[in-house]
Structure 1
Amino acid sequence: MLRQSRSQIYLFLIALLLVVSFGFAQQATLKIGIVNSQEVLEKSIEGKRVMNQLSQKDQENQKKLAKMDEEIRQIESKLNTQRMTLSNEALMQLNSDLEKKKTARQRFAEDSYREIQDLTNRLFQKIQRELLPIIEQIGKDFDLDIIFDLRNSGAIYFNPRVDITAEVIKRYDASKSAGK
């Protein structure tokens, strides 16, 4: 009887082991996809448009800063060349103007940086919201269990076969073309 109990326990343990190992084997067939969000930004029509918009805004700000820098240089030059011939009152006025210009330049630089950051965040979040349903649909179409963003995943290596970036770009561009 004791022998029969041991046999049943062994059979039970073997059956349990088979069930558990079968469960692990099932999990091993996890299908993964990778999307490179940076590449989507660089290569999609909308991503290029957004990057161009940000670049133009930055160039406008740089031109304004260059103009302000030139005004500051002119005042500094005037102070250096005419220091001996100007009255104390005129010198004080030029120094005051110089400080005001420097302060205005610093404020503009800080404000324009914040403005670019805010615009960048708004535009990128908009693109992410538009991409999410496309990526989800690709996941369903390709029967993927999980999709990682290469930029944020920490992945060091992946098989190019799981990269769905080109498909995301193609469908995103198509959705933008159809929306016009």
Structure 2
Amino acid sequence: MSKLLQSVALAASMMLATAAVQAQELKIGFVNSERVLRESNLAKAAQIKLEAEFGKREKDLGAIETKLRAAAAQFDKDAPTLSEAERSRRQRDLVDQDRELQRKRREYQEDVNTRKNEELQAIVERANKVIKQIFDAEKYDLILQDAVHFSPRVDITKKVIDALNAQK
């Protein structure tokens, strides 16, 4: 009989422990990383910085493209009256100029992407520090980023953005 009482006591204590764990509610938060990278002052400042850094090169590429289009239009207009040798020479020049423009565009895009990734990485690092501070200060059990579905009740994105914006 004592074995039966021990089994019942063990089962009862296990049920109480399970009930106690279920009674403690988990504190979960969600952060929309894309929104942080779009709406925070750091992200906006980075965008302005990148535009200032690459604006001149972008304008220069646009000017080269405009000049090349004008030269191509002029070639099309002049082609019927040009000698075969002159037509071939000008056509090669246009092809060479186009190839050079495409090379410059690729270099420009690679440079922009590299700098953008550097700026985004800096923002992500600072955002992660802020998220960790919120996690510790408000005693979260779990903070998720980039979930498929989430309730607005657990969305702490605005809190993260506000904390980032408050930093200097």
**TM-score higher than 0.5:** yes
Number of the residue aligned with 1:9: 7
For 2:129, give the aligned amino acid.
P
Q: Which amino acid aligns with 2:4?
A: R
Distance 1:168 1:16 in 2: 40
> 2:118: which partner in 1?
122
Q: Which runs of 4+ in 1 moved over 4 A?
A: 55-62
User: Who is 1:44 aligned against?
Assistant: 40
Distance across 2 between alignment mates of 1:116 and 1:23: 54
TM-score (normalised: structure 2): 0.83
Structure 1 residues 130 and 157: alpha-carbon distance in aligned structure 2, compared to 1, 3 A threshold: closer
Aligned equivalent of 2:22 = 25
What amino acid does structure 2 have at the position aligned with 1:9?
S
Give the drift of 1:60.
4.3
Q: Which is worse superposed, 9-18 or 78-87?
A: 9-18
Structure 2 unmatched runs, 5+: none
Corresponding residue SS for 2:143? strand
Task: Please list the CA deviations of residues 23-74 of structure 1 after superposition, one character each: whole Å capped at 9, or x if unmatched.
Answer: 6416x52111122223323332211111223345565454333323222222
State how 1:17-166 maps to structure 2 within 5 Å: 17-19=15-17, 21-22=18-19, 24-25=21-22, 29-56=25-52, 59-149=55-145, 152-154=146-148, 156-160=149-153, 162-166=154-158
Letter aligned with residue 175 of structure 1: Q
8 Å contact from structure 2 (residues 29, 140) kept in 1 = yes
CA shift digits 1:81-119 (9 cap, x unpaired)? 222332333222211111111111221222222222211
Q: CA deviation at 1:163?
A: 2.4
What is the number of equivalent residue pairs in this alignment? 168
In structure 2, distance between residues paired with 1:130 and 1:7: 57
**Match status 1:175 vs 2:155:** no
- Indicate the percent of aligned positions where both proteins have the same amino acid: 24
Question: Does the aligned pair in 2 maintain the 1:57–1:116 contact within 8 Å?
Answer: no
Determine the C-alpha separation between the residues in 2 that align with 1:73 and 1:125: 38
TM-aligned CA deviation for residue 22 of structure 1:
3.6
Deviation at 1:158, TM superposition (A): 1.1
More deviation in 115-124 or 46-55? 46-55
Normalised to the residue count of structure 1, the TM-score between the two structures is 0.78
Distance in 1 (alpha carbons) for counterparts of 2:27 and 2:37: 25
